[in-house]
Amino acid sequence: MAPGITIDTAPDFGASVTEKDLKLKRTLILAPPSVAAHPETLGKVAEAYDRSATDIQMLDRLAMGLVALPAATYDLVLLLTGVGDVLDRRVMEMVVKSMRPLGKLRCNEREMQSQERTEAILAGLESDPEEGMVKPNAVEAQTVKLNFRRKANASAVPANAVEEVNGARTNRGMPLAQAGVPNGVGFDDGEDELEIPDEEELLKAEAIDPNTLLTEEDRKRPIIVPEACKPNSKRRRACKDCTCGLAERLAEEDKVKRADADSNLAKLSANDLNEVDFTVKGKVGSCGNCALGDAFRCDGCPYIGLPAFKPGEEVRLLNNEVQL
């Protein structure tokens, strides 16, 4: 007689998905391009996290658009050392979009720099002293109904807790917090006491001297110009209708330079100019443009002040008169 056989049809492993699997925390590690020369550093960091739930991306590939991050996927984004040079605002926005609500952004083995923290805040993260940067939980939009009406006068609102509407409604049965309405409470109808003064009131008003708005200490302070607003040339040019004081400052600088140049000039009296022969060999201009006029002469040219002449022509000054 053959022995009896019993078949067990019960599964040895349950195929049901547990709640723990649904709440599996995923991690994103962003590495700089320099980590390619030290792969052991990346390996040590990746050992601390579950490899099946951890993604590693190179930040330069993400910045060039070669890699796309899934939206609302990661609970933790870890920045390795050296990503600050590549992590700009556009890349930070991509990283924040890939984080789940209440997801965290941290740096490995260091504190987040001020520039990185600023970009994270501008991208929508919040600073947490213990968790680093945290993505806030999305709040559903709530609709609030506003009843726009004219603001009742203080005398029109009853002082007691009874308010009649169409002569039939009272506050019986209402809670104490909703029973009374303070006097003068309501939406602003735009009819306030703030009015635009007319021309007569402006003429009667006391005039403000614009020269008193800035003190001498304010004028001495250096003007901090942002990098984006700095001119391309070495010297700024004033506008035609300049009101910031740049035109006056440039004119004062030119005046000082002109005074210094005039003080260094050698002045000759009438007796010294009785007979000056400039054809005598002596100082010779190195530029070769002495005969063309002052517009073409150097600063130290001995012919400055003389009219243009032909090369080799005899030039004499007799009683302040040029003799060619």
pLDDT in tens, 224-241: 777 766 667 667 778 888
Strands (E), the chain: 27-31, 54-58, 74-79, 99-107, 126-128, 132-134, 276-277, 316-318, 321-323
Going by the DSSP 8-state scheme, the letter that residue 18 receives in this structure is P
107 has binding-site annotation: no
- In this predicted structure, the answer to whether residue 305 has a pLDDT above a threshold of 60 is yes
99 belongs to a structural domain: yes
Strands (E), 135-284: 276-277
Q: For residue 295, give both structure tokens.
A: 């517009």
- The total number of structural domains in the chain stands at 2
Last residue of a domain, one of 99, 134, 169: 134
Least confident of 38-52, 85-99, 244-258, 308-322: 308-322
Annotated ligand binding at 298? The verdict is yes
pLDDT tens digits, 125-163: 888 888 788 898 876 666 666 666 555 554 554 544 444
Asked if residue 287 belongs to a known ligand binding site, the reply is: yes
Of 134, 167, 196, the one marking the end of a domain is 134
Going by pLDDT thresholds of 50, 70 and 90, the confidence category of residue 177 is: very low
| The pLDDT of residue 280 | 54
Residue 281: which domain range?
266-324
What is the average per-residue pLDDT within 18-24? Answer: 53
- Is 301 annotated in a binding site? The answer is yes
Boundary of a domain, candidates 101, 134, 167: 134
Yes or no: say if 98 and 73 are a contact pair by the CB < 8 Å rule. Answer: yes
The model scores a pTM over 0.75: no
Would you place residue 212 in the very low, low, confident or very high pLDDT band (cuts 50, 70, 90)? confident
Helix/strand/coil for 58: strand
